[in-house]
């Protein structure tokens, strides 16, 4: 990770030396601007708005994705229909739903939250459904012989078995959700948000602002992934890291 960061920053600095300053600010200038922006209430409000939308959309996607994936484990017809629908619908970029959502919901947080949820739902649901197909039949049969209901099967057989794939799917879903969030904020341009700040900086030809927002976006995503999701993965699957 450290070597990748050094490489990216080095390439950035080389580009800043080659290109005019008004097109590509250097690394030092952007880091100073980022530090200054972090002291600004407007920037913190934009960051808070983005994180709130991310939490709402990503959380909803995980709840529905994991729920539908587990239901598909015990209802074969439902699994086949849902899986086919996901394969078809996931080929459509989540941002393509923005015009319909704006007509239905108007300008506000909801269209952005729904776009984030759509982007994250597909990998979450597919990872769970694919994992349930690999659950050993002997475990299912043994649970049924012991009188397990469908709810017991979900809770005591399928959920523990799919946990590794579920966590991996949640990480993939987070990447989709983060990219969809920034894109939707840039396109919809409602209220505050990192995507909106990036778009506004580009509209005003503030290249230092553009690179500052890109830097903030690039820092936040791996921070959330490593500090929250990766840590959760190690806690839930700690037996694999002994």
As a whole number of angstroms, the distance between CA 204 and CA 55 comes to 30
As a whole number of angstroms, the distance between CA 126 and CA 62 comes to 11
CB 170 within 8 A of CB 55: no
* Per-residue pLDDT at 111 exceeds 70: yes
pLDDT band at 106 (very low <50, low <70, confident <90, very high): confident
* Per-residue pLDDT at 96 exceeds 90: no
Mean pLDDT along residues 184-203 = 83
Most confident of 69-78, 85-94, 150-159: 85-94
Query: Which has more confidence, 121 or 143?
Result: 121
Check residue 136 and give its pLDDT. 57
Map out the domains of the chain with their CATH numbers.
Answer: 44-237 (1.10.3720.10)
pLDDT band at 128 (very low <50, low <70, confident <90, very high): confident
Check residue 67 and give its pLDDT. 83
Check residue 242 and give its pLDDT. 41
Query: Which has more confidence, 216 or 134?
Result: 216
Kindly give, in sequence order, each residue whose CB lies less than 8 Å from that of residue 99, ignoring residues fewer than 6 positions away: none
pLDDT band at 173 (very low <50, low <70, confident <90, very high): confident
As a whole number of angstroms, the distance between CA 179 and CA 217 comes to 9
As a whole number of angstroms, the distance between CA 196 and CA 135 comes to 44
| Conformational region of residue 205, where left means phi above 0, alpha means psi within -120 to 50, and beta covers everything else | left
SS3 per-residue string spanning 189-236:
CCCCCHHHHHHHHHHCCCHHHHHHHHHHHHHHHHHHHHHHHHHHHHHH
DSSP type of residue 147: T
* Per-residue pLDDT at 82 exceeds 60: yes
Can you give the pTM of this predicted structure?
A: 0.81
58-67, 171-180, 187-196, 233-242, range with the lowest pLDDT: 233-242
What percent of the chain lies above the pLDDT cut of 90? 10
Average pLDDT of the chain is: 80
Check residue 233 and give its pLDDT. 67
* Per-residue pLDDT at 179 exceeds 70: yes
Check residue 146 and give its pLDDT. 61
Query: Which has more confidence, 73 or 89?
Result: 89
pLDDT band at 152 (very low <50, low <70, confident <90, very high): low
If 0-12 CB within 10 Å is exposed, 13-18 middle and 19+ buried, where does residue 111 land? buried
| Conformational region of residue 26, where left means phi above 0, alpha means psi within -120 to 50, and beta covers everything else | beta
């Amino acid at each position: 990770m450290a070597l990748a960061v050094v490489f990216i920053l080095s390439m950035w600095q080389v580009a800043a030396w080659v290109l005019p300053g008004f097109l590509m600010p250097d690394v030092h200038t952007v880091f100073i601007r980022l530090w200054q922006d972090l002291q600004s209430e407007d920037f913190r409000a934009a960051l808070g708005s983005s994180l709130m939308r991310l939490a709402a959309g990503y959380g909803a996607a995980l709840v529905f994705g994991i729920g539908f994936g587990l239901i598909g484990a015990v209802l074969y017809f439902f699994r086949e229909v849902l899986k086919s629908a996901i394969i078809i619908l996931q080929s459509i970029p989540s941002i393509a739903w923005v015009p319909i959502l704006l007509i239905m919901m108007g300008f506000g947080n909801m269209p952005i939250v729904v776009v984030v949820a759509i982007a994250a739902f597909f990998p979450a649901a597919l990872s769970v459904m694919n994992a349930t197909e690999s659950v050993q039949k002997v475990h299912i049969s043994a649970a049924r012989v012991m009188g397990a209901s469908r709810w017991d099967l979900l809770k005591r057989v399928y959920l523990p078995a799919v946990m590794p794939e579920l966590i991996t799917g949640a990480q993939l879903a987070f990447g989709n959700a983060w990219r969809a969030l920034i894109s939707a904020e840039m396109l919809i341009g409602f209220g505050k948000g990192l995507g909106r700040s990036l778009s506004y900086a580009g509209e005003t030809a503030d290249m230092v602002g553009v690179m500052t927002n890109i830097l903030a976006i690039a820092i936040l995503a791996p921070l959330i992934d490593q500090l929250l999701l990766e840590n959760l993965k190690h806690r839930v699957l700690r037996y694999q890291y002994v």
